[in-house]
Chain A
Amino acid sequence: QKEVEQDPGPLSVPEGAIVSLNCTYSNSAFQYFMWYRQYSRKGPELLMYTYSSGNKEDGRFTAQVDKSSKYISLFIRDSQPSDSATYLCAMSYNQAGTALIFGKGTTLSVSS
């Protein structure tokens, strides 16, 4: 079993839809959870960062962590064509700079 599982998609939605992206993980030692967005031929950029279980909102994006179920989600409201990208979940054991463990990424396409 991989440490981090993420459905690669692809996921296609119309503009304005609510998008739900998910990851599961097996190692309960993960404490920090992130979502990165990666446009084609670009490096990943950080979207959301969470530590504790619960929800964190930033504009149209909401990150949700359920440590008891080892499950994290990213919700995108009012999706836009500019949201078309690959979304990578990432996790780390601590905040001291250890390397991130990434999921495979989910490719999202938002059509206008």
Chain B
Amino acid sequence: EAGVAQSPRYKIIEKRQSVAFWCNPISGHATLYWYQQILGQGPKLLIQFQNNGVVDDSQLPKDRFSAERLKGVDSTLKIQPAKLEDSAVYLCASRSQGGHYEQYFGPGTRLTVT
């Protein structure tokens, strides 16, 4: 079974630029999460999708971050404009529907904002 795929793996941008990250979850997984992991911290949820609907985006800075999950499969997370404090690893995770608890994480995209 293929794991969660993310791209790009690394991205360096200047502040005030925009950036987009892509995630392809495990096939058949209905729930998709985007987490932000700042260096030295644990992952923190940004947004959770169930199929193509948003379940929880309470911690998403909506003035600059946006995310979508078209057709309930792939997802993109966008930051516009980026700030220095957005430097972090952006992790995508997915979970199957019904019963099983495990969230499977992708390798993450490491963003550096200069």
Contacts and interface: CB of A to CB of B under 8 A. Distances in A.
Interface of A: 4, 6, 8, 32, 41-46, 49, 88, 90, 92, 95, 97-100, 102-105
A98 B49 CA distance: 10
Interface residues of B, number: 27
18 contacts: A32-B101, A44-B91, A44-B105, A49-B101, A49-B102, A88-B43, A90-B42, A92-B101, A97-B31, A97-B55, A99-B33, A99-B35, A99-B45, A99-B56, A100-B103, A102-B42, A105-B40, A105-B42
B87 interface: no
A21 to B, nearest CB: 13
B69 interface: no
Interface in B90-114: 91, 93, 95, 97, 99, 101-103, 105-108, 110
9 smallest A-B Cβ distances: which pairs?
A102-B42, A43-B105, A99-B45, A97-B31, A44-B105, A43-B107, A46-B102, A102-B43, A43-B106
A75 B15 CA distance: 43
A97 B50 contact: yes
